[in-house]
């Protein structure tokens, strides 16, 4: 089941009964026995659970005068590496550097 991506038990029955697993000694009775011995496979159920409804969170809306102001600036330069031009762009205050090849 792990190699197949944890299908449900019914899907696993279909795979075994249809003969999709070549050269596999696994039978439908083996799947029933495994469930009787080990219980329901938790990994198979993991992505199939219904999520609990989320609760509402009170959020505050910032008005324009409460929002912090930051100075934004962008520095640009053209650099050459082995004769090929590149545009370097640095934004502040985020310190984000972008390098773009120029044709």
Nearest to 77 by CA among 65, 68, 88, 86: 88
Render pLDDT for 18-41 as a digit per residue (tens, 0 to 9): 888 888 888 889 888 988 898 877
Element (H, E) at 74: strand 73-81
User: What was the pLDDT predicted at 80?
Assistant: 94
Q: What is the pLDDT of residue 81?
A: 93
pLDDT digit string, tens, across residues 35-48: 889 887 777 766 66
59: DSSP letter: -
> Mean pLDDT, to the nearest integer, of 43-67?
67
């Amino acid at each position: 089941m792990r190699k197949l991506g944890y299908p449900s038990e019914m899907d696993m029955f279909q795979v075994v009964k249809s003969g999709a697993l070549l050269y596999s000694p696994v039978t439908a009775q083996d799947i029933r026995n495994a469930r009787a011995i080990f219980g329901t496979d938790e990994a198979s159920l993991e992505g199939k659970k219904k999520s609990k409804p989320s609760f509402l969170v009170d959020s505050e809306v910032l008005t324009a005068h409460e929002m912090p102001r930051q100075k934004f600036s962008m520095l640009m330069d053209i650099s050459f590496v082995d004769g090929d031009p590149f545009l370097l762009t640095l934004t502040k205050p985020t310190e984000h550097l972008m390098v773009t090849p120029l044709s």
